[in-house]
Structure 1
Amino acid sequence: KSPQCTPDQHLQTQSETQGLESAQVTKPVEETLSSLSALLISATANPENVLIDALDRKVAFLVNFLLMKYRMKELVRKADIWKMIIQDDEDHFHEIFLRACEHMEMIFGLDVKEVDPTRHCYGISIKLGLTYDGMMHPPEGLPKTGLLILILAEIFMNDNCVSEEEVWKVLSKTKIYSGQMHFIYGHPKELVTKYLVMEKYLEYRQVADSDPARYEFLWGPRAHAEVRKMEILEFLARVHGTEPQSYPSQYEDALRDEE
């Protein structure tokens, strides 16, 4: 049974808590997305006209390389990263690789993990057991799972139901706006209210008795089938350097979900 949103009076009493929880969900994404946007643009620009740190440029090139390998469904060999990206910058390999993997995780919703320690090969997979990467939706070829995870986390952290206004307020902190084209997510409004609903990851419905009409989001059936709430909570706790138990109400909800 789908959970019901509380009345407006309850929403007002929860506003401070929601604001704190929303900030906890979006801050790592905001920082990473802002960084990645600058890096990807700068990495393809004329180096004579762009002053950018050499490490940042290599992080951006590695992100593009990893995305190419993901699209081709190929393993990533450490030797290829050395040859194509790192070259003579051996001392900074670990930093470059970790930062690129963070971008892949936070923005594209993809995990980069070593799958063959002997040959030093890495596989790239969608986070949290999701089976959707959004590459078929415009702009084609760019994974959009990061946005889906962000919205699912926002819903979960707000008692499993969140208003559309709150979703766009949260996304605006990461410079994702309803009516503005995004270099990764295309038309965000269309992606969120059409494609993610059509894929059954989100439920988008009118708030009961609202006039003028207001809308709210819940997890869709596909999200419930594929995602464990505890995984969402563990992910949020990890990026904030804390423990799932730091969010008592969500932790109890996640435990019930495990039963």
Structure 2
Amino acid sequence: MAPSSPDAGPSCAGSDEGAQGPGEESAGASQAAPATQSTRKDPLTRKASMLVEFLLEKDTKKEPISQHTLLKVVGRKYRQHFLEILRRASKHMELVFGLKLTVVGRSMIIYALIYKLNLGGDEGLSEGGGLPKSGFLMVLLGIIFRKSNHAPGEDVWEFLSVLGVYTGRSHWIFGEPRRLLTKDLVQKKYLKYRQVPNSDPLHYEFLWGLRACVETSKMKVLEVLAKIHDTVLTSFPDLYDEALRDQAERAGLRGTARAPTMAEASAPSRAKSYSSSHI
């Protein structure tokens, strides 16, 4: 992706990659603790995460998914909250993995997972014919956007734990999440991962990478955030204003980029007209 692309608005992250110091792994180990504590605070969210992992496992094996089986996963204690737990799990499946949970059975309730287009509209992260990861990337960009475009590593891992993705634990779709976020997506320039300047003890933060700035926008990411929280864009007034400014900056850059091209295109016709008038 060319750094001079007009879609890379000035409000996006800079082009410096940021060094990953030797203390990175030890810092990541300490970041895993708050993630576990967060999911324990909300039992319904924890059950929804369990349901997501169960649904994905069933989908890979192409086994039928009955409501009776899902109720057993939720457990008798939380059976009265089953519909809410299922709603949260279904939303995570759709936004992060691009899979929609649909009822297909008639005599008994049977669910199936149907692939739908990801909100990010980018299939570039799909590898080896597996599930596309662009929805997951949009969620990551949303976390960074909400944190003033600089998301502390602790906050990112804590949020991902709600989706059943934990640092240090291999995920059957994403592999080892730490490698995906701090290596793979950084190398592809979707994310930047760097040490926070002058931090003691060492802390790391995530920023948008150059390719993310080019291939999506803050408004598109805000749309994903609104869906996650079941609300409208204007419920995030500060983020909405920033997304509008980002749109205006992108439109201005595109106009600036087109102007020389139009001038150059008209130059030959003017030269031809001048030469004809002097024959």
Which TM bucket (shorter chain)?
0.5 to 0.7
Which whole-Å deviations, capped at 9, do the CAs of 1:172-206 have from their partners, x for residues lacking one? 22231111111221100000100010111101111
* CA-CA distance at 1:103 after TM superposition: 6.1
Compare 36-45 and 240-249 and name the one that shifted more: 36-45
Q: Equivalent residue for 2:196?
A: 207
Deviation at 1:134, TM superposition (A): 3.6
Give the direction of change, closer, same or farther, for the CA distance of 1:197–1:236 in structure 2 (3 Å limit). same
Once the two structures are TM-superposed, the CA of residue 55 in structure 1 deviates from its matched residue by 9.3
The letter for the 1-side match of 2:227 is: R
| Structure 2 residue 183 is the aligned partner of structure 1 residue 167 | no
- Give, in angstroms, the shift of residue 171 of structure 1: 1.4
Q: Judging changes above 3 Å, is the alpha-carbon distance between structure 1 residues 103 and 211 closer, same or farther for their aligned structure 2 residues?
A: closer
Decide whether the 8 Å contact of 1:110 with 1:127 is kept in 2: no
Partner of 1:188: 177
Question: Whole-Å Cα distance in 1 between the matches of residues 215 and 63 of structure 2?
Answer: 43
- Match status 1:38 vs 2:48: no
Quick one: distance in 1 between partners of 2:126 and 2:149?
Answer: 23
Contact persistence 1:105–1:127 (CA under 8 A) = no
Calculate percent identity across the aligned residue pairs: 41
Match of 2:67? 53
Relative contact order higher in (CA < 8 Å, ≥ 6 apart): 2
| Aligned positions of 1:2-81 closer than 5 A | 2=13, 33-42=49-58, 44=61, 52-53=66-67
Q: Which has the larger radius of gyration?
A: 2
Q: Could you tell me which amino acid in structure 2 is paired with residue 53 of structure 1?
A: Q
Amino acid across the alignment from 1:145: S
Corresponding position: 1:128 with 2:120? yes
Cα deviation for residue 127 of structure 1 reads 2.5
Q: How many residues align?
A: 183
Describe how 1:144-159 pairs up with structure 2 within 5 A: 144-159=133-148
Which runs of 5 or more structure 2 residues have no equivalent in the other structure? 1-9, 15-37, 71-86, 101-113, 249-279
C-alpha separation between the residues in 2 aligned to 1:232 and 1:46?
33
Aligned to 2:276: none
Q: Does the 8 Å CA contact 2:49/2:89 hold for their aligned counterparts?
A: no
Q: Provide structure 1 residue ranges, at least 5 long, that are not aligned to the other structure.
A: 4-21, 57-97, 112-121
**Equivalent residues of 2:96, 2:136 under 8 A apart:** yes
Bigger mean CA deviation after superposition, 170-179 or 235-244: 235-244
The 5 A counterparts of 1:96-115 are 105-109=94-98
Structure 1 position 235 matched with structure 2 position 224: yes
RMSD: 3.9
* Distance in 2 between residues matched to 1:252 and 1:174, nearest whole Å: 28
Q: Give the Cα separation in 2 of the matches to 1:131 and 1:42.
A: 23
Contact kept? 2:139, 2:225, Cα under 8 Å: no
Q: Which residue of 1 aligns with 2:18?
A: none
Question: Cα distance, 1:215 vs. partner?
Answer: 1.0
1:80-116 CA-to-partner distances (Å, cap 9, x unmatched) read: xxxxxxxxxxxxxxxxxx99985653232479xxxxx
User: Taking structure 1 as reference, are residues 107 and 209 closer, same or farther at Cα in structure 2, changes over 3 Å only?
Assistant: same
> CA 1:123–1:145 in structure 2 vs 1: closer, same or farther (change >3 Å)?
closer
